[in-house]
Amino acid sequence: MIAQSFQYESPQTLQEAIELLHKYGDEAKIMSGGHSLIPMMKLRFAAPEAVIDINGIPGLAYIKEEDGMVKIGGLTRESELEHSDLLAKHFPIFADVTKLIADPQVRNMGTLGGNLAHGDAANDHPAVMLALRASVVATGAEGEREIPIDEFFYGFYMTALQHGEILTEIRIPVPPAGTGNAYHKLERKVGDYATTGVAVQLTIDSNGIVTAAGIGLTNVNPVPLRAARSEDALIGKPISEETLKLAAQYASEDCSPSSDLRGTEEYKRHVTGVLVKRMILKAAERAMQ
């Protein structure tokens, strides 16, 4: 399969990339790892007039801790997230999630920025970012703006990024002691998109009371979903049979999956609840360590 013809641009600076985006207007697409974009272009679901390859711009791939935040450059590859010691320290959830995204070759190309900017509720990172209460930095002609993750996903393949803006950084607050996080997805085979996926981050105080909770769901809603009622069901209480049951029930009620090859709506609601319970327990276990 061959994509429709396009102009290929490989800017060497962010400034140049932004100028090119303005020059080509709506017909331009940014390319990071290309592992969602190229398949769509080959299938002719996308036919941009110009592809602006940002891989030649130095300084867009990094993982660092600064001002109480872990900052990840938009162009950071999945394989770099998978093997980062800094992330492993605060966020074992990254090892959970990256291992379940596609396969090693795809992870050598795919980037965190591209995974989020694609705006696909089937992708795994959006749910993780919801659980971790991340924010996203967009850089455009007017400079940078920071977008909280709850305001980032708009609709099917739609995000808050405006034309001419490049997702340059992801910021994640470093969680306090007593925090644990975990992700798992149900998949038909290794590397498949999720039938359902659940990301959880919990902070638990010395009395065993949950003081903060973040829960994100993958591929069971038109947009990546925060399971807000499930979070509320946990806060201010110890983890118990009762709170687990409520959190699971609310998530399965509040999501909106569609029946497809991966399962019926009813099945997906059910297994979402099951995974919510399991990930709460796993995050809690990690929080106590």
Partner 1 sequence: MLKKITVTVNGTEHTAEVEPRLLLVHFIREVINLTGTHIGCDTSSCGACTILLDGKSIKSCTVLAVQANGKSVTTIEGLAPEGGPLHPLQEGFKENHALHCGFCTPGMIMRAHELLEHNNNPTEEEIRWGIAGNLCRCTGYNNIVKAVQWAGAKMRGAELPNTEPEFRCKNARRRIAKYGAGVRISSNTGQHFNLSTN
Residues near ligand FAD (CB under 6 A): 29-37, 39, 74, 101-102, 106, 109-111, 113-115, 117-118, 123-125, 161, 166-167, 191, 193
Using CB under 8 A as the binding rule, whether residue 109 contacts partner 1 is answered as yes
**Selected binder of partner 1 within 64, 99, 163, 188 (CB under 8 A):** 99
**Selected binder of partner 1 within 23, 42, 89, 245 (CB under 8 A):** 42
As a three-state string, the secondary structure of the chain is: CCCCCCEEECCCCHHHHHHHHHHHHHHEEEECCCCCHHHHHHCCCCCCCEEEEHHHCCCCCCEEEECCEEEEECCCEHHHHHCCHHHHHHCHHHHHHHHHCCCHHHHHHCEHHHHHHCCCCCCCHHHHHHHHCCEEEEEECCEEEEEEHHHCEEECCEECCCCCCEEEEEEEECCCCCEEEEEEEECCCCCCCCCEEEEEEEEECCCCEEEEEEEEEECCCCCCEECHHHHHHHCCCECCHHHHHHHHHHHHHHCCCCCECCECHHHHHHHHHHHHHHHHHHHHHHHHC
Using CB under 8 A as the binding rule, whether residue 126 contacts partner 1 is answered as no
Using CB under 8 A as the binding rule, whether residue 106 contacts partner 1 is answered as yes
Only one of the segments 6-14, 112-120, 206-214, 257-265 lies at the binding site for partner 1 (rule: CB under 8 A); that segment is 6-14
Only one of the segments 48-56, 118-126, 194-202, 281-289 lies at the binding site for partner 1 (rule: CB under 8 A); that segment is 48-56
Say how many residues touch partner 1, by CB under 8 A: 29
Q: Which does 181 bind (CB under 5 to 8 A by kind): ligand FAD, partner 1, none?
A: none
Using CB under 8 A as the binding rule, whether residue 12 contacts partner 1 is answered as no
Provide the minimum distance between the beta carbon of 55 and partner 1 in the complex, in angstroms, as a whole number.
Answer: 7
Provide the minimum distance between the beta carbon of 251 and ligand FAD in the complex, in angstroms, as a whole number.
Answer: 20
Binding site for partner 1 (CB under 8 A): 1-8, 10, 34-35, 38-39, 41-42, 51, 53, 55, 79, 99, 102-106, 108-109, 190-191
